[in-house]
Each structure stands twice: as C-alpha cells, then as structure tokens.
C-alpha cells in the first residue's frame, strides 16, 4: 500500500498543553482518532485518482458528495485537514497576533474578549460533533461553525483558527462540560501568531499560491 498521507507531527510535546488538554486526551485524540482518519483515508484512496491529489484538493472535490464512497473520503480527508489545523491553532506558548490581526478583531468584534465570547458561543451552539472557526474574507473576520468533518476551507473560505468540539476533544478532561473546555482553550492556549499568519496569507495571495 502506498499510503500517500501521513500523520503530521504535533507542533509541541504530548503533555505541553496540560492541564488545559492533558497528555491522556492527546494519547487518544491525536494518536488514535486523528491517526485513524489518516489510515482510513489511505485505505480509501488506494487505486483511485485521489491517491495523487493533495489533501486540500480531495476536500474540495468531495465536499457535498452524495456518492457514499466519495462522502466517506470527504469525511476522512476533512477530518485530517481539520485536525492538522486544530493542533496548529493551539500552543502552550504565550502568543500575540500582529497589528493587522488586532485591528481586524477590533473592527469585527470590538475586542479580543468579545471575539473569544463569540467563538465559545459558536462551539457551545454546535449541536453534536463539529468545529468552531475564526475565518476571514477580504480581510474581514467572522465566526463560523461546522458539523462533523465539514470545513470552511472546502468553500474557499480562509481559516484563521479552529476549536474541535467533538466529544473526543474534551470528554476525558472535562466530561460533558463543553463550555468549560472552550473557556480554557480559548483563554489559555490559542496560537494567535498562527491566526495572524493565516490572515496575512489571505492578504497576500501570491505567497498563498506558492505554499
């Protein structure tokens, strides 16, 4: 089996986000759930034209698919992309955005605290499994939420950061208290530098195309 897709390494050690997200959660969420999506994607694309495509291309091509095989490929490809993006949205380091991100936050939400409150609300309101997102369009920020493996990226929307609100993301550390998980993650371990880089990429499409 060719296995074109790899489990991307985490940008920090397994225990680096504790106590907000424990190494125990990472041992299941990254080493089992995320890995299972990668393994399943490799199995599903074997011998198909998808085996030669980039992950983003597969997500674009299979988004909204009704064919059960393509839908299954979308679910696994979307989850691989979303998880890669989620891990990079988190950091144990104290990070700051930049002037462009800060002024976009002020313009859209009034303050960073107001943005965090809106993201937490989106995560709480997402019924069942899914994701809460900070996204940008033409430099203007907004909040989005998606179900299951859905991702704003599939609609050509520029993603700045995401929080996973599937139960597997928080149950070991917070049991059913999704709001407590959201409050801790959004207050303590968001990588604002990553969000600023993603906003800069939208503002500089030439660089985006080269990446």
| Minimum CB distance to Mn ion smaller for 102 or for 171 | 171
Specify the DSSP class assigned to residue 153.
G
| Minimum CB distance to Mn ion smaller for 78 or for 97 | 78
Minimum CB–partner distance for residue 31 and Mn ion (Å): 12
Minimum CB–partner distance for residue 182 and Mn ion (Å): 14
| Minimum CB distance to Mn ion smaller for 166 or for 174 | 166
The answer to whether residues 90 and 190 touch, using CB atoms and an 8 Å cutoff, is yes
| Minimum CB distance to Mn ion smaller for 30 or for 109 | 30
Strand order in the sheet with 130-137: 140-147, 130-137, 158-164
Minimum CB–partner distance for residue 69 and Mn ion (Å): 23
**Interacting residues with Mn ion (CB under 5 A):** 164, 166
Minimum CB–partner distance for residue 132 and Mn ion (Å): 12
| Minimum CB distance to Mn ion smaller for 45 or for 80 | 80
Which residue carries 């983003």 as its tokens? Answer: 56
Residue of closest CB approach to Mn ion: 164
Minimum CB–partner distance for residue 55 and Mn ion (Å): 16
How distant, in Å, are the alpha carbons of 62, 122, 132, 149, 164 from that of 125? 26, 5, 9, 17, 13
- Helices of type H across the chain: 23-28, 35-45, 55-62, 68-89, 99-109, 112-125, 167-174, 178-188, 192-203, 205-210
Which residue carries 């296995």 as its tokens? Answer: 3
């Amino acid at each position: 089996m060719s296995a074109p897709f790899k489990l991307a390494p985490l940008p920090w050690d397994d225990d680096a986000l504790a106590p907000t997200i424990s190494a125990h959660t990472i041992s299941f969420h990254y080493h089992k759930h995320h890995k299972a999506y990668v393994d399943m994607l490799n199995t599903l694309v074997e011998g198909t034209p998808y085996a030669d495509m980039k992950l983003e291309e597969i997500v674009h091509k299979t988004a909204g698919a009704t064919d059960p095989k393509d839908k299954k490929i979308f679910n696994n490809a979307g989850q691989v992309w979303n998880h890669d993006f989620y891990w990079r949205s988190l950091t144990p380091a104290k990070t700051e955005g930049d002037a462009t991100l800060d002024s976009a936050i002020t313009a859209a939400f009034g303050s960073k605290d107001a943005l965090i409150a809106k993201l937490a609300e989106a995560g709480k309101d997402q019924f069942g499994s899914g994701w809460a997102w900070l996204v940008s369009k033409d430099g203007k920020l907004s909040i989005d939420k998606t179900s299951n493996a859905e991702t704003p990226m599939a609609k050509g929307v520029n993603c700045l950061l995401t929080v996973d609100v599937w139960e597997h993301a928080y149950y070991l550390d917070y049991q059913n208290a999704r709001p407590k998980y959201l409050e801790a993650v959004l207050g303590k371990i968001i990588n604002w530098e990553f969000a600023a880089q993603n906003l800069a990429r939208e503002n500089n499409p030439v660089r985006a195309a080269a990446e």
